[in-house]
Every structure is written in C-alpha cells, then in structure tokens.
A and B are shown apart, each in its own frame.
Chain A
C-alpha cells in the first residue's frame, strides 16, 4: 500500500469517529451528524483510494445504520434504485458493441471518411471519439480508439516529440472527455446525478419532476459540443500541423476497412437492438430508464450477441456497488437534513445564484482532475443542491451543472481513464496538460452561458441567475 493510501486508511475512520463524537452543532440532528461523518470517511477514501471505489461505497452504506443515520431497511432499500440497473445496461451495451466489432467498424469507416489532410485526420479522431459516446460509455470509446490512434502514429512513423502524434492522442482523449457529457449513455455519472436529484426533491417535499433521456440530452449536448469545438480549436493552435504526408495512414485505414468485410448478422442485430433501446428510452420516459435498459440487456443475451461469460469478464461489476452505495449515502444526507445544514453554514451571505453556480462548477471540475468523476457527483451534488436552493438557484440547473462540470477532465492523467491512457503512451509530458486547462476553463464558461440563456429558452431550467 502506498504511504498516502495507508495514511488515508487510518485518517478516514479517525475523521469519521471525531465527527460522531463531537458535540452536535445547533440546527443539525444527531442523525445528520452521523450522515456527515459517513460522508467524511467516504470523501477521504474516494480521494486517496486505500480500497477500491466500490468498497468505499459499501462501507459507507453499512455505516449509515451502524452510526444511526438511517434505519438499516431504509438505507439498504435506497441501494436498489433504477440508476444502478440503467448503468448496468449502459456498460453491457458498450461490451456488445465492442465484442461484435461494430464499434471498430464505426471507428474505421468514420475516420476514413473524415481524413483528407493532417488537420482533417486530427479533427476526425476527435469528432469520431466524441460522436461514438452517443451510445457507448466514454471510457469504452477511449479503449476502442487507443489502438487505432497508435496504429496511425506507427504507420506515419511519428516520433514521441511529434506535434501530430501528441495532437492525435489528445484529440482522442479530449473527444471522449467532451463526449462523456453527450447523453445519458455516454457516462454513468449523469444517471447518478439525476437519481440523487430525485432523492433530494422527494426528501425536500417537492413534487417529482424527473429528467428524461431527451431532456437531459437537450441540456447536455450543446455543452458537450461546445467543449469539443473548444478542444479542436485549442489543439489546432497549441499543436499546429507539421505538414506530414498522411497518405500511408489513409492506405492503412483503407486496408483495415477492407479487412472488416461486409456487415455481419451480429453487428446488424446489435445495431438494431441498441437503436431500439435508445428509441424506447426516449418514448418511455424517465421513470422507465432502468427497466428499458434491463429489458434490452436481456435481449442482447437472448439474441446470442452477448454471452454471460463475456459479460462477466468485460463489465466491472463493482459499478453496481459503487453507484448503489453512493446513492444511498447521498439519500441519507438529504433525509437527515445534513446537507441543508452544511449548505446554510458554508454559503457566504453575499453569494448569489451565479456565484453559487460558478462555485459548484469550479469545485466539480477541480475535483474531477484527481478523483473518479462518479465520486465527485456523490460528494458535491448532495451539498450543492441545498446550497443552490439557499442561493436562490433552480435545482434543475444543478442537476445538469454538476455532472457536466465533473466531466471536464481535460487536464491531468489522473482525471479519467482516457487521459491516463494517452499519458501512458509516453508521448505526452506534463507541459502538455496546459492546453487542457484552457479547454476546461472555456468549457466552464460555455456551460455558464448556456445554463443562463439556452436552458431557460428550452424550458429545461428556471434560469434564476442573478
């Protein structure tokens, strides 16, 4: 175990114990104090990962009844929410797209179509990585695109200091990072955020107003597109073309497309099933998302395009534990009034809705550089929602803002698997993180602008900025 992990393994429980044993502050219930103690342990462990992320979620879930935050039955019931089943469906779709070769075909054919020059090749890699995230979870897109991009670099015989090599790799990573904000299928964190938001409304006595597939995409896709375009422009300026001859890469792509042969029956079946699933999610509405995901996941097995053995190997089933536990911990924080107390204590009086939104956006974007973005949602959103209410901000706005800004992981290799992969190639150095900082700040700016002007226009949020 690394020294930081070892220290955090001890510090987490100590902090938790200290909060439980401390005198209860005015305005906070003892159950709320216990819920905050559980959160403190989870924050430390999610940040320094002395144990895997799903284990932290499970420990948090178990501590809720042990420390008296919630009765055991209530805590465990929150674990079985529809977001968990939706996320399982999201990952199974990614697996089947990969297993049948449909994702590789889409990648190669799309890339060949876009590529005409060095610039176009780089744009094509980013655009395609971004677009594939429409239906495939972004981390899987990065894993699919990495060998393709490295093969292009190999074919062009680019050196590690080559601007084009670095631009291609960052195009792939930033394309998937921006694409992770595209739809509910692009990443699991949006579903987690929406479930936490539903729990918050219900705990606060508000009428249910769930956000569905189309509504979420209407708010998220313009932000995702803006991030992707900013990424394209920043890379074009920071790593201008070297004037290399890309003909060998095009020949290689042609050969690979030829090697794929005609579309197989399994690929067709997969494509139809996934499209039908998306269409059903659109029609069925928000409260059916988890059920639709389960039904179509079952269909993938029934049609024999996915076997259970493949699913066992290719899905990290800890995903269900991670999300189930995080939702239960978030729910406990709302139900005990812990986060409402925290928000009223933390928020300075002079902060208005815009200030609160900026604060939450910056906090989420900063945390996501060092912590798993699912953990960012689990920690930031439960505090942000009551904080936003205190500042006069519409809750719907935050239900988009937190997962979207937690998706702006453009800077460090620790931020997201796509960035870890491209830095792992050895082509990028620490100074290559600077353009990512520019993209993050500009994306945050675009998010604030769109939340203020576009979302109210689309009827997605009240737009109560000051």
Chain B
C-alpha cells in the first residue's frame, strides 16, 4: 500500500465544480487499488494579473498611487475570498467520501507555482481546469493549463488531467 497524492490547482479564473468531482473519482480509483490518498489543493492568487489591472488605473487612467493601491487591495481581497470558498467546497466533497485534504495558498505565477508544488509533493496526478476554447485559439493565444501539462510531462511530475469548463 502506498500514499497517492492528487494535486488540484485552482485560481480565481481557473476553477470549475467538475474539477472537484474529477478529483474524487481519481481518489476513489486509487483507494480501490488499495492505496492511501491525500488530496492537496493549491490556490494561486495570480498577483501579476491583479497588479496589471491596478497599474492600468495609473498608466492609462492617470490616477495616482492611492487609487492604484486601493484597486489592488480590493481585487486581492476578492481573490482571497474566492480562494477560501473554493477550498471549502473541495473539503466538503472530500470529507463526504472520507478523504483528507491539505490546503496550500501562494501568490505568483500559476505555472511556476503548480510545477513547484507538484515536485515538492511528488504528486501522482495534477488536476487543472481550462476554459473551453477552439483548439486553434489555444494554439494561437496559448493555454496556461496546456503549458503546465507540457512542462510537467517534460519534468516527469505526474499525470496531468485537464478538465474543460
């Protein structure tokens, strides 16, 4: 019997309820195989996106520092609130099936933080959500989830499962 770790990586704009269901299904498969399962939830506050929005108030809105700081604080508080809410949803769903949940919050770049956490945990599965878009759009404009999958595969960091929302 071994310990299997499932990493769910979410941020304010990268989450779906289907992801929670997927995590539970993955966890049940491991349990049926006789393994112990730990579900890790990584919540990323994408500070670069928040800082970009706040900076636009100064750069093109030509308002001063206080307005920029206020916008950054308001957006940050909202993202933190959403993060807590989402982790709570995972915890409730996992507790109903008897799985343990470990939560972890970080600020920074989504891709870097997910890869670092997956490596630190030796995650068996990394679960991500992705906004459903045409394939050509993802090729042209890129997809963060696809980037995580590509780099995780390159670095041997576990199986990446992407849930389209």
Contact = CB atoms under 8 A, between A and B. Distances in A.
B79 interface: yes
Interface in A334-383: 372-374
Interface stretch (A75-83, A236-244, A284-292, A419-427): A419-427
A245 interface: no
Interface in B46-104: 49-50, 52-54, 56-67, 70-71, 74-75, 77-79, 81-82
Q: Which of A143, A372, A416 has the most CB of B within 10 A?
A: A143
A315 B67 CA distance: 9
Given A314-B66, A429-B13, A430-B131, A423 B60 contact: no
Contact of A314 (B15, B64, B133): B64
Contacts of A188: 62
B60 A372 contact: yes
Contacts of B71: 143, 146, 421, 424
Contact of A154 (B50, B61, B81): B81
B36 interface: no
Interface string A392-415: 000000000000000000000110
Contacts, number: 105
A416 B82 CA distance: 25
A315 B59 contact: no
Interface residues of A, number: 40
A52 interface: yes
Interface in A90-106: 91, 94-95, 98
Contacts of B77: 150
Contacts of B50: 424
Interface stretch (A219-227, A316-324, A440-448): A316-324
Contacts of A91: 62-63
Q: Which of A160, A318, A374 has the most CB of B within 10 A?
A: A160
Nearest to A148: B74
Interface of A is mostly: helix
Contact of A425 (B58, B63, B75): B75
B65 A49 contact: no
A53 interface: yes
Given A49-B59, A420-B52, A424-B53, A315 B64 contact: yes
A265 interface: no
Contact of A417 (B49, B57, B70, B82): B57
B57 A150 contact: no
A421 B50 CA distance: 8
A140 interface: yes
Given A426-B11, A426-B12, A140 B79 contact: no
Given A154-B81, A426-B12, A421 B62 contact: no
Q: Which of B49, B59, B65, B82 has the most CB of A within 10 A?
A: B59
B56 A420 contact: yes
B71 to A, nearest CB: 6
A55 to B, nearest CB: 11
A322 B29 CA distance: 61
A423 to B, nearest CB: 7
Interface string B14-29: 0100000000000000
A49 B56 CA distance: 12
Nearest to A54: B62
Given A322-B62, A424-B52, A426-B82, A140 B67 contact: yes
Q: Which of A98, A150, A312, A316 has the most CB of B within 10 A?
A: A316
Contact of B70 (A143, A154, A322, A429): A143
A258 interface: no
Interface string A146-187: 110010001000001000000000000000000000000000
Contacts of A160: 12-13, 15, 82
18 contacts: A49-B59, A139-B63, A139-B67, A143-B70, A146-B71, A146-B74, A150-B77, A154-B78, A160-B13, A313-B65, A420-B52, A421-B56, A425-B78, A426-B11, A426-B12, A426-B13, A426-B82, A429-B131
Q: Please name the 10 residue pairs, one residue from A and one from B, whose CB atoms are nearest each other, closest first.
A: A426-B12, A424-B53, A139-B61, A417-B61, A314-B64, A372-B60, A420-B56, A319-B62, A420-B53, A316-B62
Given A414-B56, A426-B78, 20 more contacts: A53-B59, A98-B67, A139-B61, A143-B57, A143-B61, A150-B78, A154-B81, A314-B63, A314-B65, A314-B66, A316-B62, A318-B62, A413-B53, A417-B53, A417-B56, A417-B63, A420-B57, A421-B71, A421-B75, A424-B52
